[in-house]
Structure 1
Amino acid sequence: MTVDEEEAIPLVLAGRPRKASTSSTSSSLSILLEDEEQEVIGTSSQTETIPLRHRSRSPPPNPIVANVVSLEDDSKATTLSFRVFLLGSFLGCTGAAIGQIFFFKSNGIGFNIFLIILVSYPMGKALERLLPNATISLTRRWSFRLNPGPFTLKEHLLIGVLASGASGSSYAGDIVAVQDLYYHRDIGHVGGLLLVLSTQLIGFGLAGMTYSLLVRPTNMVWPSSLVVMTMYNTLHSRSSGMTSFRPPAEDRLLMAKKFRFFSIVFVLITIYQYSSALSDQQPKHVHASPGIGLLLFYSIPTEEFILSIYLSLLSMSYSDTGVGMFSLSFDWAVITSISLQTPFYSSCNYFAGLVFSMWILVPILWYYDFWNYQSFGDNAVSSRLFNSKYEKYDVGAVVKPDLTLDIEKYNQMGPIQLTPYFALYYGIGFAVLTSAITTVILFHSDDIRMAMNARTKASTDAHVEMMEKSYAKVPASWYIMIGSSMTIAPINVVVAYPLQIPVWGQAVDLALVLLLNTL
């Protein structure tokens, strides 16, 4: 073997390696064909060569991608294995159960990709040591090994893909719950399962059909994926290749420093979170999170009228009863890690929209009592529905047994009251949908046209070139089959079960999903 394994750094690639090729050679033990190193098996005139490592000569144009993703790949590294299916299925089922249970909680917990990566790594290394090196034969042609060798980066990544794709909560579960709790309509296990599966799996079909637009082009860089890749590199990276059993001494030292840093941060954040939880036991007038708004209590005036206005404004300043203008939270559950993986310009854009809508527009609406805004009291930023007395609206009282609107009871209860905040939230949401379409047409139509024209052409991107040269593509028919079958399934659900949605309405929903997810 001419490949120096101390210099190979494989890149995670999807798909399966292409079949080994044959070539004519005499007595060589290894050859170099184009820019792909191969190992020769046999010494006869017809020797079989298996690709070992491919290195692209085309540098990636994006420097961030170049610093995170390697330009080398070891195509002999173990990919789909028993460990992948075992750990991926276990973590996926566990995450789906946890995510769906806490989907209905106001302060739920998430089973995100970072937790999956951290948990699956020691589990994979444990299976590497504990599983026997036995071969299980399913049929005469199909068999697999329980322990194919060292736990590789590609196995780890496939576990993350499998588990994270299944561990998220399903928004369709909200439909099933609302039908049962509010309208007392049970669509059954089969109907609920079809509804949930169709809404989840249709996304995979759309993702595959939009691969040439959203993944293959060089300028389609996803910052969140780079963060995930960096974490994989931290756990597996080494100068001698990620698939070997032990890294070199200097890389072991570097990994030890990283794990030491992680351990210190883990201990400190645990102590900090517990201290924040203890602060929640304070009286209600003290904000649960440390906030600079608390300092304003030292200058409260004594006049009753001015005091009421002052306290109302102060209530509006907090995040739980208002717009959070004077709240400065140090709770990581509130901050979240999204800001660490979002580009700075995007974060600034988001924050500017937040300041304009929540810190300027909403207080103006409240000050001028737009739609009797001040009558909502502590529900100023609530998303609930209210009656004319600004109490919770009983939706079940204004519908007939067939779930149609009872006009007489509706007139008795009065019109539904929305907080101006919630109305503004909905209005901005619809504006975002239309602005996304116009933005793509005005600024990215040329990119879409170029991507469409380049679908059948060889890519100049280093990673795409390496991937398409060494690995077979997933057939487009697979995505079409999943997408079409999952399009038919929800139509059958709305026909067979009382979901109050006509077939044409379901067709419009699917068309919007296809359009907006592409944009």
Structure 2
Amino acid sequence: MEPQQVELSHLDGRDARPGTNGGRTDSAEEEVDDCPIEEVRLTVPITDNPALPALTFRTWFLGLISCALLAFSNQFFGYRQNPLYISSLSVQIVVLPLGKLMAACLPTKAVRIRGTKWSFSLNPGPFNLKEHVLITIFANTGSNSVYAVGIITIVKAFYHREIHPLAAMLLTQTTQLMGYGWAGLFRKFLVDSPYMWWPANLVQVSLFRALHEKEKRPKGGTTRLQFFLTVLITSFAYYIVPNYLFPTISTISLVCLVWKNSVTAQQIGSGVYGLGVGSFGLDWATVAGFLGTPLSTPAFAIVNIMAGFFLIVYVIVPVAYWTDAYGAKRFPIISSHVFMANGSRYDVNRVLDPATFQFSQAGYDGAGQINLSIFFAFTYGLSFATLAATLSHVALYHGGSIWEQTKATVRAQAGDVHTRLMKRNYAAVPQWWFQVMLVLVLGLSVFTCEGFGRQLQLPYWGVLLAAGLAFFFTLPIGIITATTNQQPGLNVVTELIIGYLYPGRPLANVAFKTYGYISMSQAIMFLQDFKLGHYMKIPPRSMFIVQVNDDDD
């Protein structure tokens, strides 16, 4: 007999089925009690089946393999000019038939672990939705390339030096795990709060429901699963064209095709090294390679981004460049490289003391000051403005709700229907789990930077300052991400802070940036996955175990 579904409105003595609003009550009060965000009400079900197994052998087997494959692929393809990113969506599709195959073939007899009373089943029943969600989260935690690998890359490729293998390993692990330590402190604000709805998660919720729920095909129409399969097959077939048969269509510039020998035309029309006027791409990997898919971003956020893009790229940068502000014409209009005063590439090795691997004032005096392209200079300046705007926006627009949520947390009040279901059916992750992890990772981080002959050049106070900076920005940037699907970064401001406080040490700068920026980014990714589990009613402790073990791998 199939386990009974739990619907919170029944448990609270209310009928969830009257009215026509998707099976929910018509009253405004009950609608808000469900979820105040319309997109969530239309997408996320308000039922749960707590008897479904989640952390099974199939979850571990498929999750670990998919995580390893995505981690390798995205790290490998991240070195391309237009990075190819394989998201957890691919795993979400592929593991469904694999999970069903394992459910059909594996034995159901329990396997006992020798010397213990523990046992588990290789096949606890049909492959279910909760296993599918956990496997996808497994894959998602490994889908992003490890930012700290960039430090190892620049040490070997640009500075031509060696780094201790254990120091490199500890650096990658600690930067990935540090943010989890304080992510638990913000769960009440960024997971339990119904107003933090994480738009990207709704795409996955819709797909999970399409893959697992039985739907009757409307007359003359298609089911969600049929529509999804049509788009999947079509897009897969089309991708052969830009990736193998005709890569040129990834970036097409009409201006460059007409005026092939004009430098000005290249500056105006190139989509890679210029302003991209009249340039377009027919490759989805190019469209979504940097900002992510626009399909999961709210319309108001897209309009905001486009307005800012037009103002900066098509107005301010061209005016500054062609009026030769600060000698901008000596350098490319768009470039992330650094240059000599005559426009040639800057030789960084000339300003580094080979013995101490620190800044050499004599070398810098001989080489001259570093120059940036006009676009890159504006990028740095606007990055500072973005962080200041993030703090002021969150304070003005969300300050009241943060305070109310804080008071509700103290009073232990429940949130919407999803929060109440989770509290009723599952044990929460104890706060001390996060606190222990934070202390351990902070200790390892200090050891990594202070040990190994101080190869990373960052002192202990730099690690603690980076952690404090990331902790301070996690909540405001988390709110921006949870409501707009856009995440401001701390990479520029961290470079400025450590460059001012501890100048002349290149590895200390990038290590501080990584601890400050990536620990915040990892905390937000942890919270986003927790929100997905919140929507899909995954036991929180299973979520925690999957995410932490996955990043350890």
Distance 1:387 1:438 in 2: 38
Q: Is 1:126 matched with 2:101?
A: yes
Q: Is 1:78 matched with 2:53?
A: yes
Q: Is 1:409 matched with 2:363?
A: yes
Higher radius of gyration, 1 or 2: 1
Q: For the Cα contact (< 8 Å) 2:294–2:302, is it kept in 1? A: yes
Distance 2:126 2:243 in 1: 42
Q: CA deviation at 1:255?
A: 12
Q: Is 1:395 matched with 2:348?
A: yes
Pair 1:361–1:119, CA change in 2 (3 A): same
Distance 2:333 2:197 in 1: 39
The one-letter amino acid of 1:339's match is: P
* Corresponding residue number in structure 1 for 2:468: 511
Instruction: State the Cα deviation string for residues 404-458 of structure 1 (Å, max 9, x = none).
Output: 1222222221111111111110111111112212222222211111111111423
The secondary structure found in structure 2 opposite 1:261 is helix
Pair 1:230–1:385, CA change in 2 (3 A): same
Q: CA deviation at 1:389?
A: 2.7
Instruction: State the Cα deviation string for residues 153-203 of structure 1 (Å, max 9, x = none).
Output: 000001111221123211111112222333344332211111111111122
Uncovered stretches (5+) of structure 2, i.e. residues with no partner = 15-23, 477-553
Moved more, 141-150 or 385-394: 385-394
Q: CA deviation at 1:271?
A: 4.4
Q: For the Cα contact (< 8 Å) 1:89–1:162, is it kept in 2? A: yes
The one-letter amino acid of 2:282's match is: F
The secondary structure found in structure 1 opposite 2:120 is strand
* Corresponding residue number in structure 2 for 1:246: none
Match of 1:380 among 319, 323, 333: 333
* Corresponding residue number in structure 2 for 1:355: 310
Q: Is 1:493 matched with 2:448?
A: yes
Distance 1:255 1:131 in 2: 37
Q: CA deviation at 1:4?
A: 9.2
State the TM-score, normalized to the length of structure 1: 0.80
* Corresponding residue number in structure 1 for 2:286: 334
What does residue range 231-246 of structure 1 map to in structure 2 within 5 Å?
Answer: 231-238=207-214
Q: For the Cα contact (< 8 Å) 2:256–2:269, is it kept in 1? A: no
* Corresponding residue number in structure 2 for 1:177: 153
Instruction: State the Cα deviation string for residues 211-261 of structure 1 (Å, max 9, x = none).
Output: 01111112111100111111111101137xxxxxxxxxx379999854443
The one-letter amino acid of 2:318's match is: P
Match of 1:319 among 268, 271, 286: 271
Moved more, 270-279 or 144-153: 270-279
Over the residues paired in the alignment, what is the CA RMSD in angstroms?
3.0
Q: CA deviation at 1:63?
A: 2.2
Q: Is 1:289 matched with 2:242?
A: no
Distance 1:4 1:409 in 2: 73
The secondary structure found in structure 2 opposite 1:136 is strand
Distance 1:418 1:205 in 2: 37
The secondary structure found in structure 2 opposite 1:371 is helix
Q: CA deviation at 1:371?
A: 2.6
Q: CA deviation at 1:132?
A: 1.0
Distance 1:506 1:113 in 2: 31
* Corresponding residue number in structure 2 for 1:272: 238
Distance 1:293 1:131 in 2: 59
* Corresponding residue number in structure 1 for 2:166: 190
* Corresponding residue number in structure 2 for 1:472: 427
Moved more, 450-459 or 424-433: 450-459
Distance 2:255 2:244 in 1: 20
Pair 1:262–1:68, CA change in 2 (3 A): closer
Q: CA deviation at 1:313?
A: 4.3
State the TM-score, normalized to the length of structure 2: 0.75
The one-letter amino acid of 2:284's match is: W
The secondary structure found in structure 2 opposite 1:210 is helix
What does residue range 83-232 of structure 1 map to in structure 2 within 5 Å?
Answer: 83-138=58-113, 139-232=115-208
Distance 1:75 1:333 in 2: 38
Q: CA deviation at 1:362?
A: 0.6
The secondary structure found in structure 2 opposite 1:202 is helix
Q: For the Cα contact (< 8 Å) 2:252–2:271, is it kept in 1? A: no
Q: For the Cα contact (< 8 Å) 2:333–2:375, is it kept in 1? A: yes
Q: Return the structure number with greater helix share.
A: 2
Instruction: State the Cα deviation string for residues 431-489 of structure 1 (Å, max 9, x = none).
Output: 11122122222222111111111114231411101110111101111111112222222
The secondary structure found in structure 1 opposite 2:338 is coil
Pair 1:121–1:4, CA change in 2 (3 A): closer
Distance 1:362 1:414 in 2: 25
Q: CA deviation at 1:10?
A: 8.4
* Corresponding residue number in structure 1 for 2:523: none
Pair 1:35–1:153, CA change in 2 (3 A): farther
Q: For the Cα contact (< 8 Å) 2:181–2:434, is it kept in 1? A: yes
The one-letter amino acid of 2:339's match is: F
Uncovered stretches (5+) of structure 1, i.e. residues with no partner = 12-31, 37-54, 240-249, 301-306
Q: For the Cα contact (< 8 Å) 1:133–1:145, is it kept in 2? A: yes
Moved more, 79-88 or 252-261: 252-261
Aligned residues: 453
Distance 1:168 1:35 in 2: 44
Instruction: State the Cα deviation string for residues 133-154 of structure 1 (Å, max 9, x = none).
Output: 1211124321100000100000
Q: For the Cα contact (< 8 Å) 1:317–1:326, is it kept in 2? A: yes
Distance 1:323 1:366 in 2: 11
Pair 1:345–1:319, CA change in 2 (3 A): same
Q: CA deviation at 1:129?
A: 1.1
Distance 1:478 1:516 in 2: 22
The one-letter amino acid of 2:86's match is: F
* Corresponding residue number in structure 2 for 1:51: none
